């Protein structure tokens, strides 16, 4: 049975970045999500290339997505384009100061 894309997104919204304390989907760390039957392919990035929580995030993603029926989860981590928080979250995470020029 094919894995539902909305269900995968729901699981990605449960994976919290430990540094920023927001979910990886809302943070815009997921660049692409492709589903072929029971295989989920994810292209993503980290907030920084040297993210110390990277391995834990990958494990959490794989476990979460397999928990809803995926047989295979392929995660490609890329750093191009570099991550930048979505405009609607910049205020929430302090990445933008209204006093900056």
In order of their start, the domains of the chain are 5-84 (3.30.300.130)
Q: 């928990």: which residue's tokens?
A: 67
Give the model's pLDDT for residue 100.
42
Q: How far is CA 69 from CA 3, 6, 56, 66, in A?
A: 6, 13, 20, 5
CB 45 within 8 A of CB 12: no
**52 three-class SS:** coil
The mean pLDDT of the chain is 89
- Does the pLDDT value for residue 99 go beyond 70? no
The predicted model gives 18-23 an average pLDDT of: 89
The predicted model gives 9-32 an average pLDDT of: 94
- Mean pLDDT lowest for which of 51-55, 70-74, 91-95? 91-95
Question: Does this model's pTM top 0.75?
Answer: yes
* 21-23-28-32 Cα dihedral, nearest 10 degrees: 150
**At 97, is the pLDDT very low, low, confident or very high (cuts 50, 70, 90)?**
very low
What gap in Å lies between CA 22 and CA 57, rounded to an integer?
A: 12
The predicted model gives 35-60 an average pLDDT of: 94
């Amino acid at each position: 049975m094919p894995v539902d894309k909305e269900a995968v997104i729901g699981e990605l919204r449960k994976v919290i970045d430990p540094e920023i304390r927001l979910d990886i989907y809302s943070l815009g760390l997921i660049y692409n999500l492709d589903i072929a039957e029971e295989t989920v392919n994810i292209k993503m990035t980290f907030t920084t290339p040297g993210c110390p929580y990277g391995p834990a995030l990958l494990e959490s993603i794989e476990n979460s997505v397999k928990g809803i029926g995926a047989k295979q989860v392929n995660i490609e981590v890329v750093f191009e384009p570099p991550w930048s928080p979505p405009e609607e979250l910049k205020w929430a995470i302090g990445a933008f100061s209204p006093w900056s020029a």
